[in-house]
Amino acid sequence: MKSIKTSFLFFLLIFINSSSSFAQQKADSLSYYSNVALYPQNYTDLITAYSYFNNAYSKSRDSQNIEASIRHLYYIASIEYKLGDYDKSEKTIVKAIAFLGQSPNSTDKAQTKNSFYILMGLIYIEQRNEVKALEFYSIALQNAENPLDSAKIYNNISLIYKEFNDFESAKRELQKAFKLTPRIKDTLTNASIIDNLGVAEFELDNTSGLDLINKALALRRAVNDTSTMYASYAHLSDYYYKINNTIKAKSYALKANELAEVINSPSYKQDALGLLIRLSKDDYAAQYKILNDSLSNAEQQSKNKFALMRYDYSEFERKALESQLEEERQERRTIVALAIAAIIGLLSVFFYFILKSKHKKEKQQQVLNTESRISKQIHDEVANDVFQFMTKLEGETISNTHLLDDLQSIYNKTRDISKKHSLLEDNGAFTDIIKDLVFSYSDANTSVIDKGSADINWEAFSKMKRTTIYKVLQELLINMKKHSQASVAVLMFKKEGKKTVISYTDNGIGCQFKKSTGLQNVENRIESIHGTITFETEPNKGFKIKIII
């Protein structure tokens, strides 16, 4: 029996003409080779198209272009089917379906998978596996979205029945397809339906079959498609052979053979020679024809013996591949989750230090506010009361002048404490404030010198930093007055890169260094604004401090 593929080599799968197909092909070469793969005019067409799509698939796979990979795999599988390499075609389809599982385009996914199901059905027709072929086409028919899709599927279902000589069932399916032809604009699809219906009619001894086959041939000639014209000539030869018109049967067999030479396909040539041999009166040729058909059928049945097993294994491979892909996707999701967790962790640490710094500043500000409040309270309540008491005593006759001196001393100490802890009045240039501070601690016994304070851009410092620096300088000068017995004290300010360096030096008596409460306060204040401080002193060698902010 003649191969079914001979009747249907031109077959177009659904997604090529579908309105929901892949993105329109832009490259001329892609469009050209797609047409060559679907409408091959000779054997060389299939080989060159196969080479092109293999290269195109490699590139799209390497660039992770999933949709292009699926499209190229379809053409590869289709060409492998037409070349008769059904096992490779089936494996290519399984690979493409695995890619479909990764495709984000859900609109195209169902219909594209349908196209591969149809091609798989064709493969099982060739392998004479009626059950599996019908199973694939039934699934495809349920997902058909337009008349063209449905007609093609009905046409292919008819080929299954035809392969098993069930021409009544084949005719029934073809009549369903034939009713759709007025709504189909594709000439070759209509020609295939009409041609196959004609074959079914003449196999059932209906005279209308010849007219249908000739009508299909006219349509195929109109578009000059050699592969489908070959099918018409082969069917006409069959028709006339059946009615014992050997002259016409041989005439069409010769035309089919001429086209087989043009197409240059071994399967076409084998089929055409088979048509001619059966018309030969040579007994040896007739015996060869019978034996060759018998061997071909035996070989095909041997292949079919394991067809279902191959399909099941292909399904296993596909599911295993999908499982592997799912594991890879899960690994990627895990990596993303870990990356997000790491980012959240880093942000948490970052915000922790930001909040800690903010809390430290707020705490520092609270200390300053507390000091200011205590200072104001000492000034308003204690110092004022002492001053009023002193004023009252001055109006009285008191012989003990030491009492007045003591009260004056208490008042001065109270005023100094108040001044020391009061907030910095930020209503003038900070340079002037420093100069006033230096001046206030200079007297007949001690000279306090300011060097370079005017060269520093104090506006670049926050108010809190300026206040802290002021209080540190104030604490140093108080410490100098109380303990150093210095005649000269120098405050030096300078820039070193982005840092500001403040140096304090006096020529006092020095000491064996031990942090007093005042110096400890100085160190704490400098650390609160992220600065550093070093002390240097020895007995009779003065006192030195270096502050870096």
pLDDT in tens, 65-77: 888 888 899 999 9
Full-model pTM = 0.44
What are 149's strand-pairing partners? none
pLDDT at 7: 41
Question: 246 or 419: which carries more pLDDT confidence?
Answer: 246
| pLDDT beyond 90 at 219 | yes
Rounded mean pLDDT, 533-537: 88
Containing 545, the helix (H) or strand (E) segment is strand 543-548
Range 494-512 burial, b when 16+ CB lie within 10 A, else e? eeeeeebbbbbbbebebbe
Q: Which residues contact 112 (CB under 8 A, 6 or more apart)?
A: 15, 22, 70, 74, 100, 103
Can you give the residue ranges of every domain in the chain? 24-126, 144-220, 225-298, 424-548
Confidence category of residue 309, pLDDT binned at 50, 70, 90 = very low
- pLDDT > 90 in the chain, percent: 23
Q: What dotted CATH number matches 144-220?
A: 1.25.40.10
Q: Give the residue-averaged pLDDT of 46-72.
A: 89
- Nearest Cα to Cα of residue 422 among 361, 479, 470: 470
Class of domain 424-548 (CATH, top level)? alpha beta
Cα–Cα distances in Å, from 459 out to 334, 357, 500, 503, 530?
50, 21, 13, 20, 18
From the list 179, 114, 108, the residue with the least C-alpha distance to 142 is 114
- Of the segments 296-300, 377-381, 389-393, which one has the largest average pLDDT value? 389-393
Q: 145-193: per-residue pLDDT in tens?
A: 788 888 988 998 998 888 888 999 999 999 999 999 999 988 999 999 9
Determine the pLDDT at residue 505: 93
Higher pLDDT, 389 or 208: 208
pLDDT at 23: 40
pLDDT digits (tens, 9 = 90+) for 25-34: 445 788 888 8
User: What six digits make up the tokens of 449?
Assistant: 């010198």
Q: Taking 80 as the threshold, does the pLDDT of residue 383 lie above it?
A: no
pLDDT at 211: 93
Q: Give residue-wise pLDDT tens across range 429-452.
A: 888 888 888 888 888 889 999 999
pLDDT value of residue 193 = 94
Give CA–CA dist 516/127, Å, rounded.
Answer: 102
Q: 455: burial class by Cβ within 10 Å (0-12, 13-18, 19+)?
A: exposed
- pLDDT at residue number 2: 42
Q: Give 240 or 385, the one with higher predicted confidence.
A: 240
For the ranges 61-75, 94-108, 488-502, which has the lowest average pLDDT? Answer: 94-108
Contact 35, 16 (CB under 8 A): no
What's at 387, amino acid-wise? F
Q: What is the CA radius of gyration of the chain?
A: 51
Between CA 227 and CA 246 the distance in angstroms is 24
Query: Average pLDDT of 99-126?
Result: 77
Mean pLDDT of 90-106: 79
Q: Do domains 24-126 and 144-220 have the same CATH topology?
A: yes
Q: Determine the topology of domain 24-126 in CATH.
A: 1.25.40
Q: What is the pLDDT, as a whole number, of residue 474? A: 87
